[in-house]
C-alpha cells in the first residue's frame, strides 16, 4: 500500500482492497492465533495542507484454538483505522484525542504497509474462548467436558491444603 501524494485528489481517495494472510509475513504466524481469511481494507485518504488523513476499516477472520477445550474457533475482526500523516520535517502534533494515531512520511510517497500490518498483528487475540461458559478439558483424562461428562472422580479439595483439614480451632 504505497501511494503517491498526487493520487489523492481534492475529493480524496477511496480504496477497497484485499491482501492474503501471507502479506503479513512471519509476524502473524504463531501457535496461538493466525489470520484465516483475506484481509480487507476499506480506506479513505484525504489531503489537507501538508497532512494526509487516513480513515477506514480493516476486516478479517482470526483463527485460534479455544483456551480451555482446544476446539478450533473463528472470530470475525473489524478494526477502525484513524491515522494522521505529517511530513517528516514537521513536529508531531500533541492533541488530546487518543483515537487518532500520528505518523510521518517522507517525500511524495506514503507507505502504509508497516502501519497496517502492525494494526492487524496487535488486534489478534491472545486468548479466545469457543463460548463464555466453556467447561474445558478434564484434568485427569483429557475429555472435552462440553461434549460429555467423563467418569473421573472429582476431587473437590486441593491436596496442598489437606494438612489444614485436621486443624481444630
8 A C-beta contact, residue 95 and residue 51: no
Domain span at 24: 2-134
Q: What is the pLDDT tens value at each position of the chain, 169 positions in all?
A: 888 888 888 888 898 999 888 888 765 555 667 788 889 999 999 988 878 889 999 999 988 889 899 999 998 989 999 999 888 765 555 554 567 788 888 888 888 888 988 888 888 888 889 999 999 998 888 899 999 888 887 655 667 777 787 888 7
141 falls within a domain: no
65 falls within a domain: yes
158 falls within a domain: no
Cβ neighbours for 130, distance < 8 A, ≥ 6 positions apart: 66, 68, 69, 71, 73, 146
43 falls within a domain: yes
Distance separating the N- and C-terminal Cα atoms of the chain: 71
18 falls within a domain: yes
**What is the domain count for the chain?**
1
Grouping H, G, I as helix, E, B as strand and the rest as coil, residue 24 is helix
59 falls within a domain: yes
157 falls within a domain: no
120 falls within a domain: yes
Amino acid at each position: 500500500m504505497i501511494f503517491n501524494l498526487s493520487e489523492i485528489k481534492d475529493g480524496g481517495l477511496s480504496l477497497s482492497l484485499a491482501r492474503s494472510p501471507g502479506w503479513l509475513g512471519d509476524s502473524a504466524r504463531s501457535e496461538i492465533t493466525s489470520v484465516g481469511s483475506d484481509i480487507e481494507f476499506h480506506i479513505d485518504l484525504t489531503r489537507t495542507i501538508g497532512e494526509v488523513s487516513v480513515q477506514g476499516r480493516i476486516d478479517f477472520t482470526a483463527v485460534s484454538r479455544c483456551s480451555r477445550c482446544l476446539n478450533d474457533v473463528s472470530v470475525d475482526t473489524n478494526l477502525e483505522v484513524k491515522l494522521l500523516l505529517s511530513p517528516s520535517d514537521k513536529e508531531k502534533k500533541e492533541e488530546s484525542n487518543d483515537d487518532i494515531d500520528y505518523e510521518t512520511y517522507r517525500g511524495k510517497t506514503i507507505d502504509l504497509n508497516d502501519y497496517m500490518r502492525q494494526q492487524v498483528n496487535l488486534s489478534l487475540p491472545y486468548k479466545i474462548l469457543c463460548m463464555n461458559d466453556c467447561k474445558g478439558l478434564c484434568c485427569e483424562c483429557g475429555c472435552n467436558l462440553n461434549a460429555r461428562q467423563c467418569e473421573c472422580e472429582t476431587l473437590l479439595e486441593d491436596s496442598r491444603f489437606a494438612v489444614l483439614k485436621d486443624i481444630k480451632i
